[in-house]
Amino acid sequence: MKISIFLSVIFILSFLLLFWFIHHENKKEENKDSSLTVIVVAILFSVIITFVFAFFLFLIMGSTSIIDTIFSLNINTNQLIVIGISFLIYWLTIDNIFEKFFKYLLGENIYAILSLALSRVASFYIIGIIIKLNEVINMTISIGVSFILLAIEVLYFFKNNKSKIANTKE
């Protein structure tokens, strides 16, 4: 229920923003589109945005669920959903600020990625304190989800650097 409410809010907000933007830009043109066209385009793009949010939410919730299963933490479904939504909101907002900061400070290298992973552990731990998780569960989830995100980013980093190295050799 919480997931559908969260995704419904994302859909409604994105629809309203996109409708306003498309309608505003449509007024500037000579060949104006009909209101139905503007609504359909706004709905289609809102659905796409909602699917992207759902994908990332299920990525975070899946990571949390895997950690729960591996370490037998017995987290109930409601807590899992709240953790997933909280981590997603952090990951899509404040985490980007930390990412830019570490890339600026350390450059685009593995140290910036490791520093970002450490900041995620601390941030996820703070989120766990806010939503009143047990200390052991909180630390395990914070480290586990951060490690899974670190693994994804390290693989992406090495894939991109491999292609850059191959392009410089030619």
86, pLDDT greater than 90: yes
**Dihedral angle over CA of 41, 46, 48, 51, nearest 10:** -160
Number of domains in the chain: 1
Q: What is the mean pLDDT of residues 8-16?
A: 97
The region that residue 132 occupies, defined by phi over 0 for left and psi between -120 and 50 for alpha, beta otherwise, is left
Q: What is the mean pLDDT of residues 40-45?
A: 96
Is pTM beyond 0.75? Reply is yes
The separation between CA 161 and the C-alpha centre of its own chain, rounded to angstroms, equals 23
DSSP for 12-75, written as a single string: HHHHHHHHHHHHHHHHHSSSPPPHHHHHHHHHHHHHHHHHHHHHHHHHHHHHHHHHHHHTT---
- CA pair distance 21, 14, nearest whole angstrom: 10
30 burial type by CB count under 10 A (0-12 exposed, 13-18 middle, 19+ buried): exposed
**Dihedral angle over CA of 95, 98, 103, 109, nearest 10:** -60
Q: What is the mean pLDDT of residues 4-33?
A: 91
Residue count of the chain: 170
Q: What is the mean pLDDT of residues 18-47?
A: 90
Residue 160 pLDDT: 86
Residue 164 pLDDT: 66
Residue 140 CB contacts under 8 Å (≥ 6 apart), including other chains: 67, 71, 73
Backbone angles phi, psi at 124, to 5 degrees: -65, -35
* 89-109: pLDDT as tens digits: 999 999 999 999 999 999 989
Q: Are 19 and 38 in contact (CB under 8 A)?
A: yes
Residue 113 pLDDT: 95
Residue 103 pLDDT: 94
Domain holding 28, by residue range, is: 2-169
In the chain, the amino acid numbered 99 is: E
* 53-80: pLDDT as tens digits: 999 999 999 999 999 999 999 898 899 9
Q: What is the mean pLDDT of residues 141-161?
A: 93
Residue 161 pLDDT: 84
34, pLDDT greater than 90: no
- CA pair distance 158, 58, nearest whole angstrom: 25
